[in-house]
Amino acid sequence: MSTRRLLSFLALPCLVACRTTIPLGSLGDVTARRPHVLLVTEEDSSVFRVLDPTVVGDTIIGMVKGEPRRIPFGRVSRLHANVADPLRTVALLSAIAGAAAVVAIETHSPRTQDQCPAAEYDSIGGSLVRICLG
């Protein structure tokens, strides 16, 4: 497996695992955070995703199911943004690095059998024991 393909494979979980959803209280939060995805709950409890939202006055404008849509803030009961989570990113990358280190150590460490090239086996107390002669 090429290094490029391996890095692409390892980066895939980062796209999902390194994000979190946070509540937003106002349109000012949408402007300040500039999320790529906004989850909007309207007064009638319908929930939908708005891609690339922008705020114009008291209206959220963005793409909903591939169509442009204008949502007046007065009809919105809750707003959530899907944003990057640095703590999850560090935790995931640390886990990947730790796993890679264990694999590297296990595959490149010398085995005890290699340290004892001449050995014989003997039965001691009913168990087979390897005795190093060197």
- The answer as to whether 102 is a domain residue is yes
Burial class (CB in 10 A: 0-12, 13-18, 19+), 117: exposed
Q: Can you say how many angstroms the Cα of residue 113 is from the centroid of all Cα atoms in its chain? A: 40
> What domain range includes position 52?
33-80
- The answer as to whether 27 is a domain residue is no
- Contact by Cβ (8 Å): 120, 133: yes
**90 lies in the same domain as 76:** no
**90 lies in the same domain as 113:** yes
pLDDT of residue 60: 92
Burial class (CB in 10 A: 0-12, 13-18, 19+), 109: exposed
Check pLDDT > 60 for residue 131.
yes
**68 lies in the same domain as 107:** no
pLDDT of residue 84: 79
> Which of these three, 80, 97, 119, is where a domain ends?
80
pLDDT digits (tens, 9 = 90+) for 71-101: 999 899 999 998 878 787 788 778 888 888 8
25 CB neighbour count, 10 Å cutoff? 9
Q: Which CATH number does the domain housing residue 72 bear?
A: 2.30.30
pLDDT tier at 35, thresholds 50, 70, 90: confident
